[in-house]
Amino acid sequence: MKRFQLAIFFCTLAAILCGCATAPDTQAPAPTDRADSEEDAPPVQRCSLVDLSCEEIEVSELREECEAGEGYSCEQLSMLYLGGFLLTADPEDGLKYLAKACEDDYVPACTSYGMQMMERDEVVARKAFQRACDRGQLSACSYLGGMYLNGSGGLSRDPEAGLRRVIGSCLNGEERSCHVWEQIIEVAGEAILSDWETGCEEGDSQACVDLARVTDRGARGDSVRIAELFERACELRHPMGCFQVARRLSVEMEGLPDDDSDTTEVSTADVFQIVEHLAFACASGHGPGCRLYGQLLQLLLPNFEEVITAEQVVLAFTEGCNVDHHASCRALAGLLAQGDLVEQDGPGAVLVYHDACLNHDLDSCVALGQAYREGRLVERDIDKTVAAFANICFRGRDDACVELGRLYAAGDEIDRDFELASGYFEVACGYDNLIGCTELGSLFYFGQGVEVDYEVAVGLLLYACESGEHEACQRLQRYGEL
């Protein structure tokens, strides 16, 4: 298969999975050299996160792996059909493979499958979104919340259930969830909040938590009311309630007690009340509670070595990581990498990053790729860096796309390949990464990996320059175009 076609495949994949669009004045060429069957198709490059390797694989082998239960292979196979790339476009076959990827518990595929099925079968779409939302895919929660609001996808209309689905994803930055939240509050907010008020008063800890979170976004000035609701939830032994109480108290602390000092702005009793709340939250399986618990223990350790140990810090982060709280995993890996609190264990840190990456934490995938590129924690292996970055480039990590583009354009560490570089820069630019647009513009200007096109080149560089990318402005000046 031509390498440039591979680059276009990545861009097609990104568009289907993430809905990204290329920057102004750029357009990916239509797929060429399509085959009528999997047997006739040329090989494709497949990068595995499991063993961090890339290889060319026949499409028929990809299908065999899919049939054997390898969800990632099913997803990649589906995109060959849905994108009309290599194979004669057949959406039904593409959907079949995407459905199997979801059934095989490759969670990102569930969100993609739900989006593809929205206009075909809302019930099937809802089940896919529900599976993905339950596994932490925030965008899936937004679609599911909307279905509860509208009573679609085989669900009875239930704005309250919809609101509960989108609260967490909205507060974690998922914009579509916030939009659904606003819609729900507009049409049914008064009744829902009234029910939650009553429920909280009558001892429903979840109602207290949900009411506090809605109040936090809807009326940020009412900090007293928010604190009261979380305190009530904690009294009712809700892990998130106790986590939020501890979080507020830790923010309010102006200093930490020193066991060698008679004067302090915060008493030891206050600090250990926070510790107690976080210990409960962590023991209850609340991942963010475990992370904050570990961080606080780490902060207190120098002053309380007789009651706090480094092993407790590691255990807190480990327990958070064990419940798939990705930030806890990264904190654990950081401890092992630094070697300040515990004995340095570079390979152990990389293993934690690898496991979290396999569990769909893109930040850990970036750290994994960087670790193999730097060679500080493990033996340097640029091929593993490429495999890690290639898997997350088309899932919205524009920084990984840029790094791949630069690697292939430079050719210092891997074989120079401007065609692949242009493909990765195009995906990055499609995510509105200005560096990606700048680099792609230069490739069009000099005809490296793409045909010379001064109009496209200048358009990309002007777009990046006017959007604040200084390097793009400098290049325009050097090229005599500004």
The number of beta carbons lying within 10 Å of the beta carbon of residue 33 is 11
Query: What's the pLDDT at 177?
Result: 94
Q: How far apart are CA 425 and CA 457, in angstroms?
A: 13
As a whole-number percent, the residues of the chain with pLDDT over 70 amount to 86
- State yes or no: pLDDT of 415 exceeds 50: yes
Q: Indicate the angle between helix axes 268-283 and 287-300, nearest 10 degrees.
A: 150
Sign of CA dihedral 142, 148, 151, 152: positive
Of 253, 213, 251, residue with least CA distance to 230: 213
- State yes or no: pLDDT of 98 exceeds 60: yes
Q: Which domains does the chain have, with CATH numbers?
A: 1-33+386-482 (1.25.40.10), 238-359 (1.25.40.10)
**Residue whose structure tokens are 């200005």:** 434
**Degrees to nearest 5, angle at CA 266 with 262 and 268:** 70
Q: How far apart are CA 296 and CA 274, in angstroms?
A: 9
Angstrom CA distances, 169 to 166, 180, 191, 204, 264, stand at 5, 11, 22, 22, 39
Q: 194 vs 41, which has greater pLDDT? A: 194
Q: How many CA within 13 A on the CB side of residue 299?
A: 15
Report DSSP state, residue 262: S
The number of beta carbons lying within 10 Å of the beta carbon of residue 96 is 15
Tokens of 88: 């004669």
As a whole-number percent, the residues of the chain with pLDDT over 90 amount to 63
Q: How far apart are CA 163 and CA 142, in angstroms?
A: 9
Query: What's the pLDDT at 173?
Result: 83
Q: How far apart are CA 456 and CA 444, in angstroms?
A: 7
Residue type, 99: A
Tokens of 330: 């990264």
Contact 392, 365 (CB under 8 A): yes
Q: 400 vs 33, which has greater pLDDT? A: 400
Report DSSP state, residue 55: E
Quickly state the pLDDT bin for 86 (edges 50, 70, 90). low
Q: Mean pLDDT in the chain?
A: 86
Q: 412 vs 97, which has greater pLDDT? A: 97
Tokens of 193: 């909040």
**Helix, strand, coil distribution of the chain in percent, nearest 5:** 70, 0, 30
DSSP string of 290-305? HHHHHHHHHHHGGG-T
Task: State CA 292 to chain mean position distance.
Answer: 20
Query: What's the pLDDT at 218?
Result: 56
Quickly state the pLDDT bin for 35 (edges 50, 70, 90). low
Q: How far apart are CA 226 and CA 91, in angstroms?
A: 49
Query: What's the pLDDT at 203?
Result: 96
Query: What's the pLDDT at 262?
Result: 43
Q: How far apart are CA 445 and CA 463, in angstroms?
A: 15
Q: How far apart are CA 124 and CA 283, in angstroms?
A: 36
- State yes or no: pLDDT of 16 exceeds 50: no
Query: What's the pLDDT at 237?
Result: 96
- State yes or no: pLDDT of 11 exceeds 70: no
Contact 403, 369 (CB under 8 A): yes
**Degrees to nearest 5, angle at CA 283 with 277 and 286:** 80
Give tens-digit pLDDT for 462-478: 999 999 999 999 999 99
Tokens of 366: 């970036």
Quickly state the pLDDT bin for 42 (edges 50, 70, 90). confident
Q: How far apart are CA 380 and CA 374, in angstroms?
A: 6
Give tens-digit pLDDT for 287-345: 999 999 999 999 999 988 888 999 999 999 999 999 999 999 999 999 999 998 999 99
The number of beta carbons lying within 10 Å of the beta carbon of residue 466 is 11
Average pLDDT of span 102-106: 92
- State yes or no: pLDDT of 117 exceeds 60: yes
Give tens-digit pLDDT for 226-280: 999 999 999 999 999 999 999 988 877 654 444 444 434 556 778 889 999 999 9
- HEC readout, 367-429: HHHHHHHHCCCCCCCHHHHHHHHHHHHCCCCHHHHHHHHHHHHHCCCCCCCHHHHHHHHHHHH
Give helix then strand counts, H and E, for the chain.
24, 2
Quickly state the pLDDT bin for 63 (edges 50, 70, 90). confident
Query: What's the pLDDT at 391?
Result: 86
Q: How far apart are CA 329 and CA 47, in angstroms?
A: 23
Tokens of 298: 């780490």
Average pLDDT of span 102-114: 92
Query: What's the pLDDT at 62?
Result: 87
Class of residue 260 by CB neighbours under 10 A (exposed 0-12, middle 13-18, buried 19+): exposed
Quickly state the pLDDT bin for 216 (edges 50, 70, 90). confident
Query: What's the pLDDT at 221?
Result: 52
Radius of gyration of the chain (CA): 25
Query: What's the pLDDT at 6?
Result: 45
Q: Indicate the angle between helix axes 59-67 and 91-103, nearest 10 degrees.
A: 40
Query: What's the pLDDT at 387?
Result: 93
Tokens of 477: 């000046």
Residue type, 242: C
